[in-house]
């Protein structure tokens, strides 16, 4: 009698625990999905160079980059604040993975146009992909000096950059990136360097609060000739993010803001104090609805 009663009670007591059980059952019934990593970096620029981030579809980003003169240029030059080089640029997301951009840097009055294509995204869950990879290609033309020097032709002003940006978001606070790069310059001083420059960049960002991150970037040039007068570029920065803007405050030995300039033609020695204070400000606008 007792046993039967017990069984009957058991049958109806199932309903007491059913809410949490039902929730567990619900979650288990879900098919495994691919979880894509998002926001590996806060914006499209790390310090001087690019990140793997692509704009959303229909998103237009206005980017304003500014570099002052060197801090060790003395108080008469207001520690570099008197001098300034600027790049104004726009980048537009054609799709969520393909972006196009162009800009103009006052260093050598260089105009550049580029495409970025993110073809692999870091993911976990149903499919594991350890890194996000974006291809970046850029063409740049130096429009200064206005008059072509003797012995030069117009196409000497051109250069082309190709980069493979490989990044991994290790945790919500830490992302690291590798940037194998090749830059072809149509005209160089052949006694000091080759037309093709191969470099490997490394960089990363460390989130300190929800809106502030520390960044760093270093480009190591690999195929140098003896007598090359330029230096590898090094930069460190702080990213501050507000509603629609990302504000990046940087310290770098590079004054140029086009790939050809900061990777291949940096003259400053970071550890001798040839440090330029600068900032990148980006502002995003949604031109076409994301959905």
CB of 128 to another protein, least distance (A): 16
Please identify which residue in 27, 146, 147, 226 interacts with another protein, judged by CB under 8 A. 27
Residue pair 237/249 in contact (Cβ under 8 Å)? The answer is: yes
* Contact pattern for another protein over residues 248 through 287, marking x by CB under 8 A: ------------------------------------x-x-
Minimum CB distance to another protein, residue 84 (Å): 28
Residue 1 found at the interface with another protein (CB under 8 A): yes
By CB under 8 A, residue 74 contacts another protein: no
Distance of CA 203 to the CA centre of its chain: 9
12 is a contact residue toward another protein (CB under 8 A): yes
Any contact of residue 55 with another protein (CB under 8 A)?
A: yes
Q: Which is nearer to another protein, 50 or 258 (CB)?
A: 50
| 27-35, 67-75, 79-87, 225-233 -> range binding another protein (CB under 8 A) | 27-35
- When asked if residue 19 is in the footprint of another protein (CB under 8 A), the reply is yes
In whole angstroms, the minimum distance from the beta carbon of 7 to another protein comes to 4
Residue ranges that bind another protein, judged by CB under 8 A:
1, 3-5, 7-8, 10-12, 14-15, 18-20, 22-23, 25-27, 29-30, 35, 38-39, 55-59, 93, 96, 172, 210-211, 242-244, 284, 286, 289-291
């Amino acid at each position: 009698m007792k046993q039967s009663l017990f069984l009957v009670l058991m049958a109806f007591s199932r309903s007491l625990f059913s809410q949490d059980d039902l929730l567990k059952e619900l979650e288990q019934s879900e098919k495994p999905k691919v979880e894509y990593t998002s926001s590996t970096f806060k914006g499209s620029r790390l310090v001087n160079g690019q990140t793997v981030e692509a704009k959303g579809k229909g998103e237009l980003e206005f980017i304003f980059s500014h570099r002052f003169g060197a801090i060790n240029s003395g108080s008469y030059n207001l520690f570099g604040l008197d001098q300034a080089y600027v790049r104004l640029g726009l980048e537009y997301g054609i799709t969520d993975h393909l972006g196009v951009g162009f800009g103009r840097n006052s260093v050598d009055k260089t105009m550049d146009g580029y495409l970025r294509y993110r073809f692999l995204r870091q993911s976990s869950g149903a499919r594991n992909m350890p890194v996000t990879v974006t291809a970046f290609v850029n063409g740049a033309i130096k429009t200064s000096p206005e008059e072509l020097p003797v012995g030069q032709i117009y196409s000497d002003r051109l250069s082309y950059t190709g980069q493979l940006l490989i990044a991994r978001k290790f945790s919500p606070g830490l992302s690291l990136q590798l940037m194998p790069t090749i830059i072809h310059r149509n005209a160089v001083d052949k006694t000091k360097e080759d037309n093709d420059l191969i470099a490997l960049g490394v960089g990363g960002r460390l989130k300190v609060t929800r809106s502030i991150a520390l960044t760093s970037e270093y480009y190591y040039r690999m195929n140098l000739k003896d007598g090359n007068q330029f230096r590898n570029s090094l930069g460190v920065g702080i990213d501050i993010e507000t509603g629609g803007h990302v504000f990046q405050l940087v310290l770098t030995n590079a004054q140029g803001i086009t790939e050809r300039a900061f990777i291949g033609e940096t003259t400053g020695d970071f550890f001798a104090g040839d440090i330029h204070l600068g900032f990148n400000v980006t502002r995003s606008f949604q031109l076409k609805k994301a959905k």
